[in-house]
Chains A and B, each alone.
Chain A
Amino acid sequence: MSRDVSLGSVVRSEWIKFRSVRSTVVGVVVTLFLTLGLGALVTVLTRLHWNVVTPLQRATFDPVSTSLVGVLFAQFAVGVIGSLFVTSEFSTGSIRTTLSAVPKRYELALGKLIVLVASMFVIGEVASFATFSIGQAIFSGVVPTASLSNSSVLRAVVFAGLYLTLLSVLAFSLGLLLRQSAACISVYVSILLIIPIIALFLPTSWQDDMRRFLPSEMGHAMISTASVPNNFGATTSLVVLVGYVAALFAVGVVVFTRRDA
């Protein structure tokens, strides 16, 4: 007879938990609102000011990354979704009930990871394809537009959704490590906002070498069609970011498995 608890049953259980709390619903609405809202705002402003844009700026203009820029704001919302998915279990104490039903902790962590990745991938891709399409519609007739039939355009739009997915897992992994919602979200925001600001005070040569390793810069590279100066290319950025997230998740699972619940 097969075991009653398996990865599949854990995924079903975690999916019920994920969708049955308001914080997830609010998080998803905010993610879509930030991606689409800021995307629309930036593309409308670009269209209105297109006649005063210099020829040099026109030459380097990327209609794709401009329309996807909302993703770099929505990354905070997906971070909250990812961290609360695990920290709320610790803050409410429900982790003990959860673990008495699923005692193998790596199985629980993996089940949660699958639910988070699958749902954030869908939401991330919906958000990025929608904001891309709305942005091109706003540009059309005045500002040069891009088409999904171009493979590097399609790649940038798909990567934008992947970036959001990966960042939610980054926050989730921090949650496994830190357990407290406030601590987890503070560290997450620090990684995305504070460290890049600190980096600004370093000598320029160091900055050029260092910035490409920052997750937010990788996001920038991933949503762009052309390569960004001093950054990794889009695919390298994706691979390095997956490496970061996988390493942090692995550390999170090890710590989660060892510590008292």
Chain B
Amino acid sequence: MITVEHLTKRFRDTIAVNDLDFEVHPGVVTGFLGPNGSGKSTTMRIILGLDRPTKGQATVKGKRYAELRDPLHEVGALLDAKAIHPGRSARNHLRSLAASNRIPFSRVDEVLEFVGIASVANKKVGNFSLGMSQRLGIAGALLGDPEILLFDEPVNGLDPEGIRWIRDFFRSLANEGRTVFVSSHLMSEMAVSADQIVVIGRGKLITQGSIDELTASAKGSVFVRANNHQQLLNALRAKQGTVTEQNDDGLSVSDLSAEEIGQIAFDAGVVIYELTPQRASLEEVFMDLTSDSVEYGSTGVRRES
């Protein structure tokens, strides 16, 4: 279990993390979602005791990271796959990590085998592709067989096969009762791999909960096809409905339920051919949630929230 309480981190002139509160529980995969520069990596660094919070705290199993007795047995983390000395072999890199926590070297060969890079174990890490480095980083996180795992954007650089492998792998770690905390800036990725999500924007918590709750709470719309679209449109507008899309096929209506639309159409004497509630995709939910807090918008204009 990871607990983040009133966490704030200021770098000279930027507030990277702003009064953040959330918990990450065992047995599920928790996605940590936010646009670029929203403070995900900073939060993870603070959890690992690498950066000192300006205010608040982050604890792992109720303790600050530096107080953990056997860090690699308790927490495994992968922050940046390329942050390894390029001149060292994969095996020596893992052996140095293992030695620091009294993990037997046989475990190094086991994890190398498990992530599928045993054949290049004696090659210099500097020659590794990003995908191979990611696998090496995951091997490092698994060394101590920890209960809690943190991964910062782990699917970066993986091929489709690798992405599927890592999703199944996270799932199996969670099924074993471990705490799995994975950051991403892609909602679509989280939609398929996470159970719970924590969404942040500009360092602030936007929402947290299960993926299902989040989609359910999202504004949906209803697609209507009728015999007279113009007449229906007028009737809906009179009842505060918002028509978001109109074409020859039909209308997309938000702010009104299917039942309300049916009643309005009936009262207006319009014949309905089709009435389909549509759930917002998670991607839409995410865009909607974070639209006010995108740090680096593509328009180049910084929007104030």
Residues of A within 8 A of B (CB): 3-5, 9-10, 12-14, 16-17, 20-23, 88-89, 92-94, 96-104, 258, 260-261
Contacts and interface: CB of A to CB of B under 8 A. Distances in A.
B87 interface: yes
B50 A260 contact: yes
Contacts of B82: 93
Interface centre among A5, A23, A261 (most CB of B within 10 A): A5
Contacts of B303: none
B154 interface: no
Interface of B, secondary structure class, is: loop
B101 A88 contact: no
A10 B100 contact: yes
Interface string B62-106: 000110111111010101101111111100100111111111000
Contacts of A100: 48-50, 65, 71-72, 75, 77
Nearest to A92: B85
A21 B92 CA distance: 10
Contacts of A20: 88-89, 92, 96
B173 to A, nearest CB: 18
B83 A5 contact: no
The size bracket of the interface on B is 35 or more
Nearest to B46: A260
Given A5-B70, A93-B84, A260-B51, 10 more contacts: A16-B96, A21-B85, A22-B87, A23-B87, A92-B84, A92-B86, A94-B85, A100-B75, A260-B45, A260-B50
Nearest to B74: A4
Nearest to A20: B92
Given A96-B79, A100-B48, A4 B101 contact: yes
B179 to A, nearest CB: 16
B203 interface: no
Given A96-B79, A99-B50, A4 B97 contact: no
A96 B80 contact: yes
Contact of B49 (A9, A17, A103, A258): A103
Contact of B99 (A3, A13, A93, A96): A13
A221 B66 CA distance: 44
B201 interface: no
8 nearest A-B residue pairs (beta carbon) = A93-B83, A13-B100, A13-B99, A20-B92, A4-B70, A16-B96, A260-B51, A12-B99
Nearest to A105: B66
A3 B69 contact: yes
Interface of A, secondary structure class, is: helix
Interface centre among B75, B88, B96 (most CB of A within 10 A): B96
Contacts of B103: 4
A16 B95 contact: yes
B123 interface: no
B84 A101 contact: no
A150 B88 CA distance: 45
Given A97-B140, A260-B51, A9 B101 contact: yes
A4 B102 contact: yes
Contacts of A5: 69-71, 100-102
A9 B99 contact: yes
A21 B87 contact: yes
Contacts of B80: 93, 96
Contacts of B95: 16
Nearest to B91: A20
B84 A104 contact: no
A9 B100 contact: yes
B6 interface: no
A4 B83 CA distance: 24
B102 A94 contact: no
Interface centre among A21, A23, A103, A261 (most CB of B within 10 A): A103
26 contacts: A4-B69, A4-B101, A4-B102, A5-B71, A5-B102, A9-B100, A13-B100, A17-B92, A17-B96, A20-B96, A92-B85, A93-B83, A94-B84, A96-B45, A96-B48, A96-B50, A97-B83, A97-B97, A99-B48, A100-B48, A100-B49, A101-B100, A102-B100, A103-B65, A104-B66, A260-B50
Contacts of A89: 85
Contacts of B101: 4-5, 9, 101
A104 B71 CA distance: 10
B98 to A, nearest CB: 8
